[in-house]
Amino acid sequence: MAATYGKILAEQGNKEEALESLEKAVKMSEGSDPELNESYAEILIEQEQFQKAFDELSAFIEEGNSTDGMKDLLKKAFVEVKGEAQDYQAYFDQLDQAATDRLREELRKEMMNKPAPSFSLEDLEGNVVSLENLKGRTFILDFWAVWCGPCVSSFPGMKRVVEKYRDDPSVEFLFVITWENEEDEKKHAQDYIIKNDYPFHVLMDYEDNVVGAFKVRGIPTKFIVDKNGNIRFTKIGYDGNDEKLIKELDLMIEMVK
């Protein structure tokens, strides 16, 4: 409530009350909401509270609770506090590396090693993809549906990840459409992918057998599987932060490879 109220106040030009409300919301969330953190930092910059903006932004970025837009906000605060931008990139890289190291340690605790269920599914072109013919590669299974809001909200970020690994033959992304109830599920999925220009390799789980075999309880759910066919990570849901999604998947792939 405080976050929404703060944003409304900011839009109305009531910056002081907006700052108070957003600061309260950030404290209540313990800085865990990146978009809220960015809104709060923007108001601090607008109110010329540069030292506080510098301190808060540094903490958000180091703790991994940041957005891509915070990099520019931090640079503005850095220049005001330090007097020049010369050392900014080195400072940002230090914070970003600390966030990466923190995330790597968190992921190490989540790492597993259990055989993936055997599966065999057709893609949109009618080609059969199976666990057996994927062995030797690290692959990511992303279970989704067109009606699933968080699934499709994650796709701009997923597109960036897929394009990053496009020329790496040792990594493959597979988007398994499941839990659909359209009369023509294949056309429904194909139309959506074409309309949004997503370079995704889509597999059709017509009978929902594969989503059941993987014991998925909600979508989106991703499984990162190693070259031996063992599940090493499971990632459930999407929190709206593309930068975090990309960094997590990068690290998972790096650790599995």
Other beta carbons within 10 angstroms of residue 112's beta carbon come to: 10
Amino acid 103 reads: L
Task: Output the domain CATH number for residue 136.
Answer: 3.40.30.10
The confidence score (pLDDT) of residue 7 equals: 59
> What whole-number distance in Å separates Cα of residue 104 and Cα of residue 96?
12
Amino acid 13 reads: G
Q: Residues 105, 122: one domain?
A: no
The pLDDT tens digits for 161-198 are 999 999 999 999 999 999 998 999 999 999 999 999 99
Start-to-end CA span in the chain (Å): 43
Q: Residues 141, 226: one domain?
A: yes
Q: Residues 25, 38: one domain?
A: yes
Place 121 in a pLDDT band, splitting at 50, 70 and 90. very high
Last residue of a domain, one of 78, 109, 140: 109
DSSP 224: E
The pLDDT tens digits for 88-105 are 999 999 999 999 999 999
- The pTM score is 0.87
